[in-house]
Structure formats: C-alpha cells, structure tokens
Chain A
Amino acid sequence: EAQVTQNPRYLITVTGKKLTVTCSQNMNHEYMSWYRQDPGLGLRQIYYSMNVEVTDKGDVPEGYKVSRKEKRNFPLILESPSPNQTSLYFCASSYQQGFHEQYFGPGTRLTVT
C-alpha cells in the first residue's frame, strides 16, 4: 500500500529537549516536505527536499532542521524545542515539486511545555 508514515503520532516534551520526528514514504517520490498546521493559519511549509541530499527552507524554517540521506526518509529535527513549536506536523511526498498530488502522512501532534 502506497503510504507516508510518521512517528511518533503524539509527543509531549519539555523546552530544550532535542527531538526527531521520522517520516518515510514507499512510493519512490523525489519531493518531500514538512508542514505545520495551526488553527486559522492553514498548512505552512517548514522545509522541503527535491531529492537526496537536496534540502531547502520553506516559509517557517526557524528552529527546525531536516536531512535527506535516503530517498525514502525525511526526518524533522527540533534541536531545542520551544512552546511556540507546539503544533500539528505533517510530512508529505510527491512525484516531483509542482502540481503533482501531495501524499500526506497521518500527522504528529507535538506539545512543548
């Protein structure tokens, strides 16, 4: 089954404690991205990757890091989480950047206290 998986689905952590949210896709997609979803703000892109070892900032990259060492994986790293990073996070993949369908993971609900 074609899918994007994320782990964990729920995470409660404290300010400053480094964390990683994993993302994996099994569709051999070149393009992957991370979004955060906040009430009234829709989906905002954090980082994206057009292919292995190619990553770039989205609209709200501050406080986040990513890596793309393999085509299928695109982890999101919060080196020192802060309460304003409390949000719902989605990983997405598509064949290429542009008008292609984005396949979204199920989301990770992060709370930083």
Chain B
Amino acid sequence: TQLLEQSPQFLSIQEGENLTVYCNSSSVFSSLQWYRQEPGEGPVLLVTVVTGGEVKKLKRLTFQFGDARKDSSLHITAAQPGDTGLYLCAGEAGKLIFGQGTELSVKP
C-alpha cells in the first residue's frame, strides 16, 4: 500500500513567521499535487509538480518535488492569517493518494 506521510500534523504560528510542511513516501509518484481546504469547503488545488527537483512558486508559497519523486515540501514565507487552513498533499500513481493533512493556524 502506498502511503504519504505529512508532517507536522498541526502547526500554530504567528503572522509573519515562515513555515515548511513536508510530504514523504517510500513510493515514487508520477506527479504530486498540493491542495488547501478551508472549513466547510472542499479541497482546492494549489499546484501540481511533475518533474523531479521541480520548484514552483505561488506568491509566498514555494513547492518543491524531490529529485527521486518520493517527497515534496511546501514553504510559506511571512505567513498571513488568510493562509490558515488544512493543507493536503496527494501523490499520483494511477490514482491520487492523499496524505493526512497539515492543519495550519496563523494568528494575527
């Protein structure tokens, strides 16, 4: 069974701090997606990374796919309260395998 482990599971920080969320697996994925979910809503796609070593930036968010395509990270610079939510990684190997999620709380 393919598994994706996300860490940390919970993160509470002050506005302006930086943070990194990790997504790790022993399996190789064809691509990896990051979603963000707000309370009462379904997940929304932030980014898809496809190539090993790929780095994508979305404003203050930086996504990296590991060279071996087994892991990924999400780095947020100068977090804002609006970044609060559940962040989910999902690896694609024929179908999507989701990590457990990282619950991020950014306090003003």
- Which A residues have a C-beta under 8 Å from some C-beta of B? 4, 35, 40-45, 48, 58, 90, 92, 97-99, 101-102, 104-107
Contacting residues, chain B, for A42 (C-beta < 8 A): 4, 6, 88, 98-101
Most A C-beta atoms less than 10 A away, residue of B33, B90, B98:
B98
What B residues does A107 contact at CB under 8 A?
40-42
The 8 Å CB contact of A104, one of B4, B6, B43, B94, is: B43
Contact yes or no, B50 A99, CB < 8 A: yes
What residues of chain A lie closer than 8 Å to B99, measured between beta carbons?
Answer: 42
A42-B88, A99-B92, A102-B33 are known contacts; what are 9 more A-B pairs with Cβ within 8 Å?
A40-B100, A42-B4, A43-B88, A43-B98, A58-B95, A98-B92, A99-B30, A99-B31, A101-B33
Determine if B94 and A98 form an interchain contact, defined as CB atoms under 8 angstroms apart.
yes
Shortest B28–chain A CB gap in Å is 14
